[in-house]
């Protein structure tokens, strides 16, 4: 940060683990004042350099308490970074409706609720920035991530509409579309209740989820993603999209858009059904 420059206040959700943690740490390194929210912050966990407040983005009262607490600490936010998310692996047929709702509540409705809490404060301030975590899965689907992919497609569409609506108030919106990163999220990866040993999808599920885990374990550096987000927030104009992924995942997005559907599905299906050597 340049000498004499006012410190910008960033609120970030899902900051206790995974990409949210790495992003919060990068924002601290970049000199931002960071108010971090996560459910585990109410249980003694903290992130060095951050003001850590309990936050469950699926609970209206928790969002209200976080907002009031963050306001009392540092006033209205200059930016909101929505990182909170969850993943439940399973065949689309296997998901209980409660599992689908839980994923959507966290990944999409939770973002929308936080935005609704922050936007009036940003309008009053006369400016603001909203960073919504989507995913490469917000642009294409892969086997056994149906709930997660649906939620990220919702984030993509919602954020495009939001950007158009808030532009007159000098508020910018950026979608972050990460590929696979070594973020440790495999520790929190749940399986759908319907994916028992008797599931007709079981053999394909085992192969597919092994490949998903392999790609994450060999994914990109999450600190680099966090640094890119911090750098984007320092720019005079916020990019509309920030896609951080390996070349093969950039290529997959391109092929999804240009290849005939059946050919692309054959390529993706083959990739997630091959044994890992």
Active site residue 152: yes
Active site residue 185: no
Q: How high is the pLDDT of residue 186? A: 60
Choice among 17, 94, 152, 220 that is catalytic: 152
Buried b (16+ CB within 10 A) or exposed e, 84-115: bbbbbbbbbebbeeebbebbbbbbbbbbbbbb
Active site residue 158: no
pLDDT digits (tens, 9 = 90+) for 151-170: 999 999 999 999 999 999 99
Domain boundaries, the chain: 9-271
Choice among 62, 94, 148, 185 that is catalytic: 148
Active site residue 135: no
Which two structure tokens, joined as six digits, stand for 235?
Answer: 């720019």
Choice among 17, 134, 151, 185 that is catalytic: 134
Q: What is the DSSP-derived secondary structure letter of residue 273?
A: T
Q: How high is the pLDDT of residue 66? A: 98
The highest-level CATH class for domain 9-271 is alpha beta
Q: Which residues in the chain land under pLDDT 70?
A: 1-5, 184-188, 277
How big is the CA angle at 238 (ends 60 and 216), to the nearest 5 degrees?
Answer: 70
Q: How high is the pLDDT of residue 229? A: 98
In degrees and rounded to multiples of 5, residue 174 shows phi and psi of -130, 135
Q: How high is the pLDDT of residue 4? A: 44
Q: How high is the pLDDT of residue 189? A: 72
Q: Which helix (H) or strand (E) holds 178?
A: strand 171-178
């Amino acid at each position: 940060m340049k000498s004499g420059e006012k410190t910008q206040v960033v609120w970030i959700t899902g900051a206790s683990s995974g990409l949210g943690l790495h992003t919060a740490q990068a924002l601290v390194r970049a000199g931002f004042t960071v108010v971090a929210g996560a459910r585990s912050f109410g249980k003694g966990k903290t992130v060095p350099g951050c003001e850590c407040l309990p936050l469950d983005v699926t609970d209206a009262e928790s969002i209200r308490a976080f907002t009031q607490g963050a306001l009392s600490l540092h006033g209205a936010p200059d930016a909101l970074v929505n990182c909170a998310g969850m993943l439940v692996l399973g065949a689309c047929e296997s998901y209980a409706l409660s599992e689908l709702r839980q994923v959507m509540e966290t990944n999409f409705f939770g973002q929308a609720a936080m935005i609704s809490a922050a936007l009036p404060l940003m309008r009053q301030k006369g400016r603001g920035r909203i960073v919504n975590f989507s995913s490469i899965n917000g642009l294409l689907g892969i086997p056994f991530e149906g709930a997660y992919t649906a939620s990220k497609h919702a984030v993509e569409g919602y954020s495009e509409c939001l950007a158009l609506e808030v532009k007159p108030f000098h508020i910018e919106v950026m979608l972050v579309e990460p590929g696979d990163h070594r973020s440790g999220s495999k520790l929190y990866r749940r399986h759908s209740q319907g994916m028992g040993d008797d599931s007709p999808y079981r053999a394909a599920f085992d192969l597919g989820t092994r490949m998903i885990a392999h790609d994450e374990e060999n994914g990109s550096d999450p600190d680099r993603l966090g640094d890119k987000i911090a750098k984007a927030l320092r720019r005079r104009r916020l990019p509309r999209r920030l896609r951080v992924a390996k070349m093969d995942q950039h290529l997959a997005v391109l092929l999804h858009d240009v290849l005939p559907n059946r050919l692309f599905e054959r390529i993706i299906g083959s990739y997630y059904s091959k044994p890992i050597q």
